[in-house]
Amino acid sequence: MKQPIQKLSYRRLYFRHALVGLFMAAIWGGYYALDKLTEGSRILIRFLAFALMIAAVFVTMTFFLVNAARRDREDELARENIAKTNSGFIRFLAFAGFVLFMVCTCFVGKPQKITVEIHYAWIASVIYLFFAVYYFIAMYYEAKTEAQCAGEEQDDA
């Protein structure tokens, strides 16, 4: 008889999703580094570097999908926590935008000695970092829910 799939708590699920975000950000950062290191190298070496990145992405996304399939039922409490997460993430984005704006205004009118290269790999890396932040925020709210349910370990009648 087939064993039922072991359900994951939302806290663990969101933690794993956040890890996926961090891994993907690291993969894109690593891809940028590999791209720079193999610049001018033979096409075989560049192909191997690209294949390594694809393999890493495949493994990470498989991990993501397997965990997503094991999530617990999405009930109204989960949706309430998702709404709180969305609100928290929007506040984070506003704060990040404000910080970026303040940093940029520090360089207005001053001679620039530092150049910033905006590479597509860095953009992808930042997007995945935001993905990780979103799920860390979600994990925080689910951890609060679990803490409120502490002391009820046994399924009592």
Partner 1 sequence: MPELKTRIREFRAKTGMTQGELADRVDVRRETIIRLEKGLYNPSLKLAMDIAAVFGTTVEMLFSFSGDSAE
Q: Which residues bind partner 1 (CB under 8 A)?
A: 72-73, 75-78, 145-146, 148-149, 152, 155-157
Residues contacting residue 60 through CB under 8 Å, at least 6 positions apart: 20, 23, 24, 27
Residue 9 vs 38, nearer CB to partner 1: 9
| Tokens encoding 10 | 């939302």
**Residue 86, Cβ neighbours under 10 Å: how many?**
13
Residue 104 vs 157, nearer CB to partner 1: 157
Q: Tell the smallest beta-carbon distance from residue 121 to partner 1 (Å).
A: 39
Q: Tell the smallest beta-carbon distance from residue 9 to partner 1 (Å).
A: 8
Residue 12 vs 46, nearer CB to partner 1: 12
Q: Phi-psi bin for 41: left (phi > 0), alpha (psi -120 to 50), beta?
A: beta
Determine the Cα–Cα distance for residues 42 and 35; give it in Å rounded to an integer. Answer: 12
Q: Tell the smallest beta-carbon distance from residue 70 to partner 1 (Å).
A: 14
Q: Which residues pair with 71 in a beta bridge?
A: 8
Q: Tell the smallest beta-carbon distance from residue 67 to partner 1 (Å).
A: 17
Residue 128 vs 141, nearer CB to partner 1: 141
